Amino acid sequence: MIALIWAEDQNGLIGADGQLPWHLPADLKRFKALTTGHAVVMGRKTFAGFKRPLPRRTNWVLSHQQLDLPAGVRQLHSLTELRALAAKTPTETCFVIGGAAVFAAVLPFADRLYRTRIQATFSGDTWMPAIDYSDWQCVQHEVGIRDEKNPYPFEFDDFERC
């Protein structure tokens, strides 16, 4: 199974200079809970935004370029390789975590979406590709708890392809 997981502001913004434009610990906690123990797939620029591979996950970088990656990080050279990876373990979830170009390329054959929507507007340079939600059914919706650590209103939505 292939799932996309991301957080966006109310305008669909997902990044600023290779980083998240906000700090929302509840979203980071959810991301960690969902992806730990699974494969995470990201583009070259997204991987460059991390200081190290994400722990307790199999880290894959999707890029046509030949990359010099740190130990424990593997490379996928094509979407065909990604689909083959997911097909090897159909009961496991392979999480695509960014960036925008990878989301756009994988969206047509993704099985699930895990979206955090932040009800605020931020500045940045990377937006989530348009999604036709008529192809998706919301199977879980949760309003996040706003507090001193999570200063923005937010909600979690999980979707399955119809």
User: 106 vs 3, 33, 60, 70, CA distance in Å?
Assistant: 9, 22, 14, 24
The C-alpha atoms of residue 139 and residue 80 are separated, in whole angstroms, by 28
Q: From first to last of its 162 residues, what are the pLDDT tens digits of the chain?
A: 999 999 999 999 999 999 999 999 999 999 999 999 999 999 999 999 998 999 999 999 999 999 999 999 999 999 999 999 999 999 999 999 999 999 999 999 999 999 999 999 999 999 999 999 999 999 999 999 999 999 999 999 999 999
The pLDDT, as a whole number, for residue 52 is 93
The pLDDT, as a whole number, for residue 119 is 98
The CATH number for 124's domain is: 3.40.430.10
The type of residue at 128 is: M
Helix ranges restricted to H, the chain = 25-35, 44-48, 79-88, 100-106
Q: Which residues contact 123 (CB under 8 A, 6 or more apart)?
A: 13, 16, 21
Which residues are registered as beta bridge partners of 138? 159
Measured in degrees and rounded to the nearest 5, phi and psi for residue 133 equal -70, -5
**Through-space distance between the first and last CA atoms of the chain, rounded to whole angstroms:** 14
Are 114 and 4 contacting, i.e. CB atoms less than 8 angstroms apart? yes
The pLDDT, as a whole number, for residue 131 is 98
The pLDDT, as a whole number, for residue 13 is 98
Which structural domain range is residue 112 located in? 2-161
- Strand, coil or helix: 15: strand
> Number of structural domains, the chain?
1
The pLDDT, as a whole number, for residue 51 is 85
The pLDDT, as a whole number, for residue 150 is 98
Q: What share of the chain is helix, strand, coil (3-state, %, to 5)?
A: 25, 35, 40
Q: Which of these, 71, 62, 68, lies nearest to 2 by C-alpha position? A: 62
